[in-house]
Amino acid sequence: MSTVASPAGLDWARVRADFPLLHREVHGKPLVYFDSANTGQKPAAVIEAVDAFYRRHNANVSRAVHALGMEATEAYEGTRERLARHVNVAAEDLVLTSGTTFALNLVAYSFGLPRLKTGDVVLLTRMEHHANIVPWQLICERTGATIRVAELLPDGSLDLDALYAAMTPEVKILGVAHVSNVLGTINPVAAICREARKRGIATVIDGSQALPHMAVDVAAIGCDFYAFTGHKMCGPTGTGALWGRREHLAAMPPFLGGGEMIKEVRYEGTIFNDPPHRFEAGTPNIAGHVGLGAAVGYLDGIGMAAIAAREAALLAHLTEEMQQVDGLRILGTAADKAAVVSFLVEGAHAHDLATLLDLEGVAVRSGHHCAHPLMRFFGVPATCRASLAFYNTHEEIEAFAAALRKVRRLLG
Ligand SMILES: Cc1ncc(COP(=O)(O)O)c(C=O)c1O
């Protein structure tokens, strides 16, 4: 792990040195990795934690009384504790999942399916990721409920007046991204949850893009469910969590059945385990979650406030550089933004742009970003997206801007 201890004395070059992959080249150029909203890079501390788990502690969890079984269980449950502290919730209300997609499906099937009925409405925002749309569509098909969409303002922020007006008595569940994966917009989720709560609407927050960028206090947000994914916050792929209000989790039937989620099984019937284990059927991604625990330790070692401040400075620089590129349009200019910038360049398809940037060593994502409805709002099929993390540098932003100008010249 990085030796950085206090935000005041942070040496960001040393922080960057913790990430082995960032020091490679692509196409003979130094890599500029601007695709962290897609997946984040991993510090050595995380890679080593996974390696150490397989080399020294590998065993299944919650089943064996032998030493390795105990060590593996302790490490796995240790991640639950660490994550819970990180987002200010109780560990017993935190279900470890394979990521946000699983977490949101779990809410949809175990919470939504039993309670939604014909005439009910699930309210979603225009900026949701498909992971917070499609599960609700599947549940609506089965229950007769319908989906209502809360629209955006032209700058890519939520139209809060319209959102609150859409919270009519038929609305039973509201799904909102904490931070947009396309625009970077940070939504005022605490205020939104307060309004929803007044009207008896259950709130489901997709925190996938919030956890990597800022301190998140789930208890203070006041939602009913909060989902997030580990691989965007320096952890391994296939990791994540769902926090749920205790009374909801206690009342929810399991989503998947199998080992670990039971207390007693007879052919006549099964007594389910208590939450969170009720929702963790089968052998989980143990090594991955051990790595996620190390990732949380790493992020906490730096401090989320320091990370947020660092990224705010990087975003300001990035935006300024991009605004100077002829013919470049930024989509999403809300005042409160994380370091995620979607853009288009006049006369170029997003995929061509990303391919040309790749030849300059710059990795950006192009496409619909799993947000078709949002693409439709902006009237485009795809965008390019530069998404940064605290390990990026001001020099990389300048290299990116130079690459953009070169591509612009090439395109004529
Ligand atoms: C806002 C948002 N929600 C959900 C997801 C899905 O996360 P995962 O694929 O890790 O389950 C992503 C990933 O891109 C995302 O950005």
DSSP symbols for 316-363: HHHHHHHHTSTTEEEE---SSB-SEEEEEETT--HHHHHHHHHHTTEE
> Does 165 fall in a domain?
yes
Mean pLDDT of the chain: 96
> Does 31 fall in a domain?
no
Q: Is 365 in the pocket of ligand 1 (CB under 6 A)?
A: no
Give yes or no: residues 256 and 334 share one domain. Answer: no
Distance 133 CA to ligand 1 centre (A): 12
Give yes or no: residues 289 and 309 share one domain. Answer: no
CA pair distance 19, 342, nearest whole angstrom? 25
CA pair distance 287, 203, nearest whole angstrom? 31
Give yes or no: residues 367 and 249 share one domain. Answer: no
Give the SS3 label for residue 77: helix
Give yes or no: residues 133 and 176 share one domain. Answer: yes
> Does 23 fall in a domain?
no
Distance 206 CA to ligand 1 centre (A): 8
Cis peptide bond N-terminal to 276, omega within 30: yes
Give yes or no: residues 295 and 364 share one domain. Answer: no
Tokens of 121: 């409405």
Ligand 1 pocket mutation, candidates 128, 129, 231, criterion most atoms within 8 A of CB: 129
Can you give the CATH number for the domain in which 191 is found? 3.40.640.10
Q: Is 183 in the pocket of ligand 1 (CB under 6 A)?
A: no
33, containing H or E segment? strand 32-33
Q: Is 98 in the pocket of ligand 1 (CB under 6 A)?
A: no
Q: Which residue's CA is the nearest one to ligand 1's atom 7? A: 100
Q: Is 387 in the pocket of ligand 1 (CB under 6 A)?
A: no
> Does 16 fall in a domain?
no
Q: Is 110 exposed, middle or buried, given 0-12, 13-18 or 19+ CB atoms closer than 10 A?
A: buried
CA pair distance 150, 157, nearest whole angstrom? 11
Q: Is 180 in the pocket of ligand 1 (CB under 6 A)?
A: no
> Does 390 fall in a domain?
yes
Give yes or no: residues 243 and 310 share one domain. Answer: no
> Does 317 fall in a domain?
yes
The one-letter amino acid code at 384 reads: C
Closest by alpha carbon to 277, among 76, 83, 108? 76
Give yes or no: residues 333 and 246 share one domain. Answer: no
Contact 99, 238 (CB under 8 A): yes
Give yes or no: residues 292 and 309 share one domain. Answer: no
Closest by alpha carbon to 318, among 395, 257, 406, 376? 395
226, containing H or E segment? strand 225-229
Distance 297 CA to ligand 1 centre (A): 22
Give yes or no: residues 296 and 331 share one domain. Answer: no
Distance 156 CA to ligand 1 centre (A): 19
Tokens of 197: 């709560």
Please say if 370 is a catalytic residue. Answer: yes
Closest by alpha carbon to 234, among 15, 8, 7? 15
Give yes or no: residues 265 and 321 share one domain. Answer: no
Number of domain units in the chain:
2
Can you give the CATH number for the domain in which 363 is found? 3.90.1150.10
Domain boundary among 254, 277, 300: 300
Give yes or no: residues 291 and 319 share one domain. Answer: no
pTM: 0.97
Q: Is 112 in the pocket of ligand 1 (CB under 6 A)?
A: no
* Distances, alpha carbon 306 to alpha carbons 18, 93, 343, in Å: 16, 28, 27
Q: Dihedral angle at the C-alpha atoms of 112, 115, 119, 125, nearest 10 degrees? A: -30
Question: What are φ and ψ of residue 303, in 5° steps?
Answer: 100, 125
> Does 22 fall in a domain?
no
Q: Is 177 in the pocket of ligand 1 (CB under 6 A)?
A: yes
Give yes or no: residues 170 and 265 share one domain. Answer: yes
Q: Which domain holds residue 168?
A: 48-300
Domain boundary among 272, 300, 328: 300
Distance 317 CA to ligand 1 centre (A): 26
Distance 266 CA to ligand 1 centre (A): 38
Residue 340: strand pairing partners = 387
Which residues are CB-contacts of 234 (< 8 A; sequence separation ≥ 6)? 40, 41, 42, 43, 46, 212, 295, 298, 299
Handedness of CA 311, 222, 237, 157 (dihedral sign): negative
Q: Is 181 in the pocket of ligand 1 (CB under 6 A)?
A: yes
Domain boundary among 300, 320, 335: 300
Q: For the chain, which residues score pLDDT lower than 50?
A: 1-6
Ligand 1 pocket mutation, candidates 106, 205, 368, 370, criterion most atoms within 8 A of CB: 370
Contact 193, 217 (CB under 8 A): no
The residue with tokens 């007044």 is: 198
> Does 30 fall in a domain?
no
> How many other C-beta atoms lie within 10 A of the C-beta of residue 129?
22
